[in-house]
Chains A and B, each alone.
Chain A
Amino acid sequence: MSLPLLEVAGLRTHFFTKAGVVKAVDDVSFTVARGEVLGLVGESGSGKSMTGYSIMGLIDPPGRLVDGRILLDGRDLAALPAEEMRHLRGNRVAMIFQDPMMTLNPVLRIDRQMTETIHAHEKVSAGVARDRARAALVKVGIPSPDERLVAYPHQFSGGMRQRVAIAIALLNHPDLVIADEPTTALDVTIQGQILFEMQKLTRETGAAMIWITHDLSVIAGLADRVCVMYAGRIVEQGRVADVLSQPLHPYTQGLLDSVPSHSARGARLRQIPGMTPSVIDLPPGCAFRERCSRAAAACAVTPQESWRDAGRDERRSVRCHLPLAGGAQP
Chain B
Amino acid sequence: MLVFIIRRSLQSVLVLFVMSLLVFVGVYAVGNPIDILINPQADQIDRERAIAALGLDRSLPEQYGGFLLGALRGDLGRSFVHSTPALALILERMPATLELAFTAMLIAVLLGIPLGLWAGLRPNGIAGRTIMAGSILGFSLPTFWVGLMLIMVFSVMLGWLPSNGRGPTTLLFGLLPVSFLSLEGWSHLVMPATNLALFKLALLIRLTRAGAREALLQDYVKFARAKGLSNARVIGVHVLRNILIPIVTVIGLEFGSVIAFAIVTESVFAWPGMGKLLIDSINVLDRPVIVAYLLVIVFLFIVINLVVDVLYSALDPRVRLSESRG
Contact B318 A117, beta carbon cutoff 8 Å: no
Chain B residues, Cβ within 8 Å of A120: 227-230, 233
Contact A102 B318, beta carbon cutoff 8 Å: no
Contact B226 A106, beta carbon cutoff 8 Å: no
State the Cβ distance, A16 to closest chain B Cβ, in Å: 13
Contact A97 B317, beta carbon cutoff 8 Å: no
**Which of B223, B238, B315 is within 8 Å of A97, CB to CB?**
B223
The verdict on A87 contacting B226 (CB below 8 Å), with A102-B218, A103-B220, A104-B220 known, is no
Specify the chain B residue showing the minimal Cβ separation from A56.
B226
**Which of B226, B238, B315, B318 is within 8 Å of A95, CB to CB?**
B226
Contact B222 A58, beta carbon cutoff 8 Å: yes
Query: With an 8 A cutoff between CB atoms, is A89 at the interface?
Result: yes
Q: How large is the interface on A (under 10, 10 to 19, 20 to 34, 35 or more residues)?
A: 20 to 34
**Which of B223, B225, B229, B238 is within 8 Å of A165, CB to CB?**
B223
The verdict on A99 contacting B315 (CB below 8 Å), with A116-B227, A117-B228 known, is no
Query: With an 8 A cutoff between CB atoms, is B219 at the interface?
Result: yes
Which residue among B218, B228, B242 has the maximum number of chain A CB atoms within 10 Å of its CB? B228
Interface string of A87-105 (1 = CB under 8 A from B): 1111100110111001111
State the Cβ distance, A211 to closest chain B Cβ, in Å: 16
**Which of A88, A94, A103, A117 is within 8 Å of B219, CB to CB?**
A103
Interface string of B213-247 (1 = CB under 8 A from A): 00000111011111111100100011001100100
Query: With an 8 A cutoff between CB atoms, is B316 at the interface?
Result: yes
Chain A residues, Cβ within 8 Å of B241: 105, 107-108
Question: How many Å lie between the Cα of A165 and that of B223 in the bound state?
Answer: 9
**Which of B222, B228, B238, B245 is within 8 Å of A88, CB to CB?**
B228
Specify the chain A residue showing the minimal Cβ separation from B225.
A58
Chain B residues, Cβ within 8 Å of A97: 219, 222-223, 226
Specify the chain A residue showing the minimal Cβ separation from B240.
A107
Contact B242 A105, beta carbon cutoff 8 Å: yes
State the Cβ distance, B274 to closest chain A Cβ, in Å: 37
Interface string of B314-326 (1 = CB under 8 A from A): 0111100000000
The verdict on A107 contacting B223 (CB below 8 Å), with A86-B228, A86-B230, A117-B228 known, is no
The tally of residues in B whose CB lies under 8 Å from a CB in A reads 22
Chain A residues, Cβ within 8 Å of B245: 107
Interface string of A270-299 (1 = CB under 8 A from B): 000000000000000000000000000000
**Which of B226, B233, B317 is within 8 Å of A94, CB to CB?**
B226
Within 203-238 of A, Cβ neighbours of B (below 8 Å) are at none
State the Cβ distance, A154 to closest chain B Cβ, in Å: 5
The verdict on A116 contacting B229 (CB below 8 Å), with A105-B224, A105-B238 known, is yes
State the Cβ distance, A240 to closest chain B Cβ, in Å: 26
Chain A residues, Cβ within 8 Å of B315: 107
Query: With an 8 A cutoff between CB atoms, is A140 at the interface?
Result: no
Question: How many Å lie between the Cα of A308 and that of B219 in the bound state?
Answer: 40
Contact B220 A106, beta carbon cutoff 8 Å: yes
Contact A58 B230, beta carbon cutoff 8 Å: no
Which residue among A86, A90, A105, A154 has the maximum number of chain B CB atoms within 10 Å of its CB? A105
Question: How many Å lie between the Cα of A104 and that of B221 in the bound state?
Answer: 9
State the Cβ distance, B114 to closest chain A Cβ, in Å: 20
Chain B residues, Cβ within 8 Å of A168: 227
Question: How many Å lie between the Cα of A105 and that of B318 in the bound state?
Answer: 12
Query: With an 8 A cutoff between CB atoms, is A315 at the interface?
Result: no
Interface string of A102-138 (1 = CB under 8 A from B): 1111111100000011001100000000000000000
Specify the chain B residue showing the minimal Cβ separation from A168.
B227
Interface string of A37-57 (1 = CB under 8 A from B): 000000000000000000010
Question: How many Å lie between the Cα of A14 and that of B176 in the bound state?
Answer: 63
State the Cβ distance, A75 to closest chain B Cβ, in Å: 16
Query: With an 8 A cutoff between CB atoms, is A152 at the interface?
Result: yes
Which residue among B219, B227, B241 has the maximum number of chain A CB atoms within 10 Å of its CB? B227
Chain A residues, Cβ within 8 Å of B226: 56, 58, 89-90, 94-95, 97
State the Cβ distance, A163 to closest chain B Cβ, in Å: 14
Chain B residues, Cβ within 8 Å of A105: 220, 224, 238, 241-242
A residues with CB within 8 A of B = 56, 58, 86-91, 94-95, 97-99, 102-109, 116-117, 120-121, 152, 154, 165, 168
B residues with CB within 8 A of A = 218-220, 222-230, 233, 237-238, 241-242, 245, 315-318
Given contacts A103-B222, A105-B238, A152-B317, 4 further A-B contacts (CB under 8 A): A90-B226, A102-B218, A102-B219, A117-B227
